[in-house]
Amino acid sequence: MNSEGVAMITPILLCGGSGTRLWPLSRKSYPKQFVPLVGEETLFQASAQRLSGAGYAAPMVLTNSDFRFIVTEQLSGAGIDPGAILIEPAGRNTAPAVLAAALYLEKTDPEALMLVAPSDHVVPDAPAFRAAVEAGQAAALAGQIVTFGIKPTHAETGYGYLELDGDPGDFTPRAIGLKRFVEKPDAQTAEAMLASGQFLWNAGIFLFSVKTILEAFATHAPELLAPVTASITDGAPDLGFFRLDPVAWEGCPDISIDYAVMEKADNLTVVPFAAGWSDLGGWDAVWRETKPDENGVVTSGPATAIDCANSLIRSEDAGLEVVGIGLKDVITVAMPDAVLVADASRAQDVKQAVAVLKAKSAKQATEFPMDHRPWGWFESLVVGDRFQVKRIHVHPGAALSLQSHHHRSEHWIVVEGTAKVTVDDEVKLVTENQSVYIPLGAVHRMENPGKVPMVLIEVQTGSYLGEDDIIRYEDVYARGQGTKG
């Protein structure tokens, strides 16, 4: 509660998904919520900003270990101070995540309202959405589980639906009865539900009190209480994060909150919403949300369309010009290391490409070409049998771990800013156009002592150049050993 005794709304942002249907831009190592798919800010940043302001507490975030520093960096970039950031040891779907958030919040603000939302949705009209949340507050405070139903714009088979217990009317936001949740339908059923006017898309966004949702879990999914409670009790702070206990978490069933609670509960209310929404569940959705021109064409980045219709052409590399000629109903997305060309009607099948690439052990299936770390990022420019060239970007004030390698030596050339370099017992500043050599086995570190980004080119040579050839001795980010720690 705030100082006036009014229940605050705590946003619960879920951001652990991989978004395979938006490959190659969205990958397991850097999924769609952290990418600026629509507009300049990322979906995660837009979600956090949408759920902020008067009446909202700092957001709680549930994510995994690899994304924890991306979360804090992107929240900082959006000007938002986070609340608790809970680290899930493994993906267990939404029910354990929501329960963990409720149990954690019960300790600090047991009277709070929780607004659970995926962090990869697009809602263009943020004030309208906050008005819808306000319309559901009274019901949530009265013990209802409030969900938000989206006015369908077409007979979509990729979404679940909500069957209303009343008429949505002109879609003025208000709490009305919810009859049931409906699984993703076939095309014929979707057409019938659209025509009836009594069904809304299930956005997977919920508003309820801490007390209400804990009672719901105790009633409908009691098997989750013991392992999730233990994951909180046996969890531990780690820098600014809270790590759920991995042993207890392993015992959690992999189940969505819809299956665990929503389809069984009888205290359900829905607020209709018609001001625009998309889960960006495929490139066809991105095409719709980025406003096609009069020919139905959307281009992004250095991309050119000539005599094309109803097509999406994107280049995600400033140095890669993509040209489409005479394309109709085609999706083209070009990355530095992978290109997708697909019939627009097969947008939902892009995840099949990821499965095929995984089966052939192609790194493009899961690894993003730019590898983000808590200190900045790097990308490989050239890779040979016994050498690799990288561009490394280090944020102001950031530092890599003190480390050594068994199988490679390195040569660093500073091209922007100034690096503070440690090589065994020697520490020195290396400025633009200067270089330093790191012999195999030397204990070394690079830091950016300045107020602007530092960029260097790294040339690695050796018998093995994998990212797991690293021994960490000190690390300000408290990572362990291994690729990312």
Condensed to tens digits (0 to 9), the pLDDT of residues 215-260 reads: 999 999 999 999 999 999 999 998 889 999 999 999 999 999 999 9
Condensed to tens digits (0 to 9), the pLDDT of residues 99-154 reads: 999 999 999 899 899 999 999 999 999 999 999 999 999 999 999 999 999 999 99
CATH assignment of 370-474? 2.60.120.10
Condensed to tens digits (0 to 9), the pLDDT of residues 172-208 reads: 899 999 999 998 999 999 999 999 999 999 999 999 9
pLDDT the model gives residue 143: 96
Residue 169: pLDDT band with limits 50, 70, 90 = confident
Which ranges in the chain are annotated with CATH 3.90.550.10?
9-273
Average pLDDT, the chain: 93
Cis peptide before 31 (omega within 30 of 0): no
Condensed to tens digits (0 to 9), the pLDDT of residues 354-409 reads: 999 999 999 999 999 888 889 999 999 999 999 999 999 999 999 999 999 999 99
Residue 24: pLDDT band with limits 50, 70, 90 = very high
Helical spans, DSSP H, in 176-310:
187-196, 210-220, 225-233, 246-250, 257, 283-289
Which ranges in the chain are annotated with CATH 2.60.120.10?
370-474
Overall pTM > 0.85: yes
CATH assignment of 9-273? 3.90.550.10
35 contacts: CB under 8 Å, gap ≥ 6:
25, 26, 42, 43
The structure tokens 């994060």 sit at: 241
- CA separation for the pair 134, 429 (Å, rounded): 55
Residue 484: pLDDT band with limits 50, 70, 90 = low
Condensed to tens digits (0 to 9), the pLDDT of residues 296-332 reads: 999 999 999 999 999 999 999 999 999 999 999 999 9
- CA separation for the pair 41, 58 (Å, rounded): 19
Three-state DSSP at 335 gives: coil
